[in-house]
Structures are given as structure tokens and as C-alpha cells.
A and B are shown apart, each in its own frame.
Chain A
């Protein structure tokens, strides 16, 4: 009976193939539970912070430096607490973060357009590529004097410094993303019959996303640094008191407790934005592509 034969053969084949699939499909290690995460990545930094504060306290108790130069952890905490209570800390954070966000978004727009232009035009890329990469390694604080001469002690000067700091990272990230797209994937798009727009949208952009995102992350870090450098130097009552300016006030008053509290805030805000916005985005993009450490089989 030929019909029965082929049915049996088909069933055989299905079972055989399903068996192969079960044996060969990569097995991903299970995602660690909250307890394990806590033990592995939350506990160690806490231990480090406690140890650091203990050392600091020890240095204070042994009078390593006079107390105006090295305030104790408790003094710094009191100052910090005061700036939080009287609202200075929140004002400074909101001024700096809104400047940082605006500067970053502007850098994002300019850097993306610049990156696209350099990707489309081989000539443009050859002409300005080396300078864009070079700018990335120039500390953006070097632009502050020039910006002040051009724009005076104004927001424009601050934004100019932020843009000069962050635009190269965004542009280079986008270029790196495009360069990493395997040519085979573009071929697939053509075989499937996608037009130029379809290929850009469905193949090129998603394929370039990890590189682009890495560029954005670096762009944010550079924005934040440039912003602090700019705020620290362009001090003027008209500009409001951002975190950098608060730091500068601490220096002028010789108030080391305020200086340390400000540094602490700058660090915390920078890290928080990275952890709350960029890290989850990046994790998601990498995980869907099987590029996280966990999913390497």
C-alpha cells in the first residue's frame, strides 16, 4: 500500500527530525533568580562602598589632613542632606539634567545626520572621518574658552561644548553600526524583493542598531562630562546653578564638604541615567539578537 508507506515514512521523518532538533537546539542557561542577582552583582559594590567609607573615616580620625581639607563622611553627609532639604540639590539636578538631556538630543540629531551623510558619501567620509574620530579623543573642556569668547557666558556656550563633545560619538557609532551589517543580509533583502526603502527599514537599520546604540551611550557619557566642564567654568548668576556651578561655589568658599557632596551628585546622576535608560535598552537589543553573555551557548 503506497499511501500507508508514505504516511509511515513521513511520520518516521518527523520523529527523526524532532529528535534531532531536541538534541541540537542550543540550551540557554536559566535566567538567574533575584537572590542570585543580589548576591552576584549588588552585594560586591555595597561591600566596596562600605570599605571605602571606613578607610575615609580612618584617614579623618588619624588627622591625615586638616579637617577643612578632608571632612569626615558624616560632615559631608550633613552638607548633602542640607542641600537636599533646602532644595539646592534638586534645583541643581533639574538644571543640569535638563541641559544634559537637551544637549544630548541635539547631539543625537546632528550626529545622526552627520553619520548618515558620511555613510552615503565616501568622499565626505574620507574628508572629515579622521577629524570626527580625532575630536572624539579631544577633551571637550578644551572648547570652553573658545565657546565663551564666541557666545559669552551663556547657555549657548554650554550647549556648544556639549555638542562638540557628543556629536562625534553619535556619528561614529552610527557609522560603525552600518559597517558591521553583513553584506549577505542586504542580499537577502534583495532576493525577497524589498526595494531600497524597504531594505533600509527592514534590514539595514535594525542590523546597525547595536553599534548605533553603543554610540549613543558613549554620546551621553560625553555630553554629561562636557556639560560639567562647561558649567564649572562658565559661572554666571544669569545661568542658574547647575551641579557644575554648585561644585564651583564649593571651591570658591573653600567648602570641601560641598565639593565632595557635589561630586557625589554628579556621579550618581550620570550613573543613574546610564543604568535607567541606556543599560535596559542595550540589554534588550542584545538579548533579542542572542548577543548577551548569557545566551552564548
Chain B
């Protein structure tokens, strides 16, 4: 056994600083209602894939926007140690007057990348999301899945170690979503990103995450968490995913039922 006084120092060495640390976070929009977010505490380790699961309206988007720096919390703190996070929404939110490559290049430009490099880098990123040679297409010429992949390439163009995703595949059909799950897991493992992935789809959370956090509604708190021990890649219809999803669904339903009168 080490001397007790050495213990904290050893621990600090053993675990690297988290990509995000959320401490005692609370968000109140209306005084006379329960807080939207309350006593939220969690860390995301570098390279970790965390899924945030909860019913509609429980504050998932609010939490993600706060981490992205789009608002200031009522109280508590958020430390992001890896620079400005990238954020993807449910809608692709591409700028329709730009081409696919133009959208990616805007993110590069915002980072101060030079014109010539931008072009090369955008093509590389589009190849990464399997859109080689499609850069000149306009947004309206792309399918929903392709648009969301351009949005993913744009998020990657921010060159952030932290990717925040707010139900990014919720509007896609199941087959396309499957393809994008595969894409995302490949990119995550290749690039060593930390990901916070928000969803209300339990199977999706188990399919993707190394850790699943379950949120309650009004007040939004993290009420439970699961480690997902299965290795990637795993199929959404595999028995392991199904079994854990069934268990988590029971907790989610119990959580929602609390609000019945």
C-alpha cells in the first residue's frame, strides 16, 4: 500500500484530465416551475463515447447547448478542456447557398485555415464520411443521410477533440441510421474523439455508447448510468444490445411513469 498522502497524486497521474467536467449544473428558465436541469454531475474521459438518454423535454438539448457554450447556466460549472466543442443537430443545418464542400470549408475558414488548404482538407473530410467527389453538389441535391454526413464532416472540420451530437439521426429512416451508426463508430475509433451523444432511442444509445446516462424529467437529473461492456462494432439487433436495452427501457418507463397523476 502506498502512503495515504501520495494517493491523490497517483490518482491524478493515472486518470488524464476529462474532456468535459460538469459540476453541480442547474438551469432554471421559469421560476415557478421545477428546474430544467438540476445537480448534473458527470465527466467525459478523453476518447470516451457517452450517450445521454431521456424522455423528450427532459433537458438534453439544453444541457448540450450549455456544454457547447451557447448559453450560460443558472449555476454550477462546465469545464471543457479540449477547446471549442463541435456540435451537430437533429437537422443537418447546412447553409443552402453553399455547396457541400463550401459548408465544410466555412468551418475551416472560421478556424483560420488558408484558402488552398481549405479545399484539400474539405475533400479529405468528405472522403472520410464516404462522400468522395460529391463536394460540388448543393444541399438540395443530397439525400437526408448525405446531408447529415456533410454536417458530420463540417463538425470534424472544427478539429475538436469533443463532438456533441443532439439526436443527429432521429429524422433518418432505420436503414440510413444504421449506416450512419457504423460511420460514426468508425470515425470515433479512428480519430480518438470524445463524444456526447443525445438520444431518446434506447437501442441507439446501447448500440453506440460505452456509457449510457439516464436522465429524469423536471427536474432533469442523471438518475442512473450503465457501462456497456460489449466491443465495437456491434449490431443494433444483436442479443447483447437487446438485453441491455430492455433493462434500460424499464428504468426509463418507470422514470416517465412518475409524472403520471
Whether both chains belong to one complex is answered with yes
- 22 A-B pairs with C-beta separation under 8 A: A10-B186, A13-B179, A17-B130, A17-B145, A17-B179, A21-B134, A21-B145, A24-B145, A24-B146, A25-B146, A26-B142, A184-B93, A188-B89, A192-B106, A193-B84, A193-B110, A194-B110, A206-B95, A207-B95, A288-B138, A289-B97, A289-B140
Q: Is the CB of A191 within 8 A of B86?
A: yes
Residues of chain A within 8 A of B143, CB atoms compared: 20-21, 24-26
Tell me, yes or no, whether A68 is within 8 Å of chain B by CB: no
Residues of chain A within 8 A of B145, CB atoms compared: 17, 20-21, 24
Q: How extensive is the interface on chain A, given as a class? A: 20 to 34
Bound CA–CA A207/B142 (angstroms): 19
> How far is the CB of B35 from the nearest CB of chain A, in Å?
23
Is chain A's binding surface mostly helix, strand, loop or mixed?
A: helix
Of the candidates A14, A25, A28, A191, the one whose C-beta lies within 8 Å of that of B87 is: A191
Tally of B interface residues using CB under 8 Å: 37
Q: Is the CB of B95 within 8 A of A13?
A: no
Tell me, yes or no, whether B240 is within 8 Å of chain A by CB: no
Q: Is the CB of B95 within 8 A of A14?
A: no
Residues of chain A within 8 A of B84, CB atoms compared: 193
Tell me, yes or no, whether A123 is within 8 Å of chain B by CB: no
Q: Is the CB of A188 within 8 A of B95?
A: yes
Tell me, yes or no, whether A9 is within 8 Å of chain B by CB: yes
Bound CA–CA A94/B184 (angstroms): 63
Bound CA–CA A297/B140 (angstroms): 9
The 5 closest A-B pairs by CB, nearest first: A290-B140, A24-B143, A192-B110, A289-B96, A191-B87
> How far is the CB of A211 from the nearest CB of chain B, in Å?
13
Residues of chain A within 8 A of B86, CB atoms compared: 191
Of the candidates A9, A24, A190, the one whose C-beta lies within 8 Å of that of B70 is: A190
Tell me, yes or no, whether A57 is within 8 Å of chain B by CB: no
- The digit string for B220-257, where 1 denotes a CB below 8 A from any CB of A, is 00000000000001000000000000000000000000
Bound CA–CA A224/B179 (angstroms): 56
Tell me, yes or no, whether B175 is within 8 Å of chain A by CB: yes
- The digit string for B88-115, where 1 denotes a CB below 8 A from any CB of A, is 0101010111000000001101110000
> How far is the CB of A41 from the nearest CB of chain B, in Å?
23
Bound CA–CA A290/B141 (angstroms): 8
**Which residue from chain B places its CB closest to the CB of A188 in the assembled complex?**
B93
Q: Is the CB of A20 within 8 A of B175?
A: yes
Tell me, yes or no, whether B139 is within 8 Å of chain A by CB: yes
Tell me, yes or no, whether A185 is within 8 Å of chain B by CB: yes
Bound CA–CA A20/B179 (angstroms): 9
Bound CA–CA A28/B138 (angstroms): 12
Residues of chain A within 8 A of B93, CB atoms compared: 184-185, 187-188
- The digit string for A203-237, where 1 denotes a CB below 8 A from any CB of B, is 10011010000000000000000000000000000
Quick one: which of B109, B110, B139, B183 has the most chain A CB within 10 A? B110
**Which residue from chain B places its CB closest to the CB of A18 in the assembled complex?**
B130
**Which residue from chain B places its CB closest to the CB of A194 in the assembled complex?**
B110
Tell me, yes or no, whether A65 is within 8 Å of chain B by CB: no
Bound CA–CA A28/B95 (angstroms): 20
Bound CA–CA A190/B70 (angstroms): 8
Residues of chain B within 8 A of A28, CB atoms compared: 141
Bound CA–CA A198/B140 (angstroms): 24
